[in-house]
């Protein structure tokens, strides 16, 4: 029933803790219906990040990734990877594209060259900084300015991408590492921002991702998913919800999917989505 739609492998710059094969085995052993590998592709990396990750790669080797995933799909089909596992399990090819206004033409060209099952559009780098590393992005901003600006930039780049993406990735990424006591994105704090984003997703057949990596403990912080964001998405006609563990190690594959699957069902969603050849596939919860 559950498809993990957001995973990283050895082809991501930060995927040294896993391989695609280990994550496929983990997903099979946990009884998932499929897994999509969405390795990182960012055409610009802030200079401050290079101080922490000197081996940062701007884009992964798509050809090598897809050849490896074809190999793994073949092993699943022949039943040689995990004994007794379902041969209907899907190994899907994806990318997590890092949106950046300065890289728009590179992103356009990229999607003219490569084909994927699923494209996640995510905002990692903003104001020449990565919120993951230090406080540079947050410095001089109130929590409302930092969060609101992040949503503004994300929406602007989603509109530019148009048909070149399928899933909005971790809209609350910036809240994970923030220094503020306000640790969660709440609809009531940014109703206008969320309305324009959610309406855009709903009207254009895009998916809203529940990224389970966000909703765990970060030091003294534990961001929460606001049910009102999901309810507003449903009210605006949104149907497509994907679950993503954002795994960088095999243990996290499918993390908390049972909980969040039942959670969205309790709010009125009846199906979850995954993408194959850029087309949504719906699975009843």
Domain segments of the chain as ranges: 3-284
Tens digits of residue pLDDT in 24-47: 999 999 999 999 999 999 998 887
pLDDT of residue 54: 45
Q: In this predicted structure, what is the pLDDT of residue 50? A: 62
DSSP state of 101: G
**What CATH fold (topology level) applies to the domain 3-284?**
TIM Barrel (3.20.20)
- Residues 103-148 pLDDT 10s: 999 999 999 999 999 999 999 999 999 998 878 899 999 999 999 9
| pLDDT, tens digit, 9 for 90 and up, residues 135-183 | 889 999 999 999 999 999 999 999 999 999 999 999 999 999 899 999 9
d(CA 169, CA 31): 24
Q: What's the whole-number average pLDDT of the chain?
A: 93
In our burial notation (b when 16+ CB lie closer than 10 A, e otherwise), range 160-186 reads ebeebbbbbbbbbbbbbbbeeebbbbb
Report pTM.
0.95
Question: Can you list the alpha helix ranges (DSSP code H) found in the chain?
Answer: 20-29, 47-50, 62-78, 104-113, 143-161, 173-176, 191-203, 227-235, 257-266
């Amino acid at each position: 029933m559950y498809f993990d739609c957001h995973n990283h492998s050895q082809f991501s710059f930060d995927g040294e803790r896993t391989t695609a094969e280990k994550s496929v085995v983990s997903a099979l052993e946990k009884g998932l219906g499929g897994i999509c590998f969405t390795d990182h592709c960012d055409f610009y990396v802030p200079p401050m990040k290079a101080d922490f990750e000197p081996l940062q790669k701007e884009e992964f080797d798509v050809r090598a990734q897809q050849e490896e995933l074809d190999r793994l799909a073949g092993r699943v089909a022949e039943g040689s990877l995990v004994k007794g596992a379902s041969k209907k399990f899907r190994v899907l090819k994806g990318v997590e594209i890092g949106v950046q206004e300065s890289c728009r033409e590179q992103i356009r060209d990229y999607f003219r060259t490569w084909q994927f099952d699923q494209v996640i559009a995510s905002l990692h780098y903003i104001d020449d900084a990565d919120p993951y590393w230090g406080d540079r992005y947050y410095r001089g901003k109130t929590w409302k300015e930092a969060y609101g600006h992040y949503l503004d930039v994300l929406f602007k780049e989603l509109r530019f991408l148009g048909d070149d993406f399928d899933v909005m990735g971790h809209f609350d990424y910036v809240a994970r590492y923030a220094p503020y006591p306000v640790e969660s994105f709440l609809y009531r704090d940014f109703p206008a921002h969320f309305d324009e984003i959610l309406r855009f997703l709903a009207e254009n057949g895009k998916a809203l991702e529940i990224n389970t990596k966000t909703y765990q403990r970060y030091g003294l912080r534990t961001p929460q998913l606001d049910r009102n964001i999901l309810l507003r998405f449903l009210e605006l006609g949104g149907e497509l919800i994907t679950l993503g563990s954002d795994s960088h190690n095999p243990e996290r594959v499918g993390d908390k999917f049972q909980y969040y699957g039942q959670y969205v069902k309790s709010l009125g969603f009846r199906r979850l989505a995954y993408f194959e050849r850029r087309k949504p596939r719906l699975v009843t919860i």
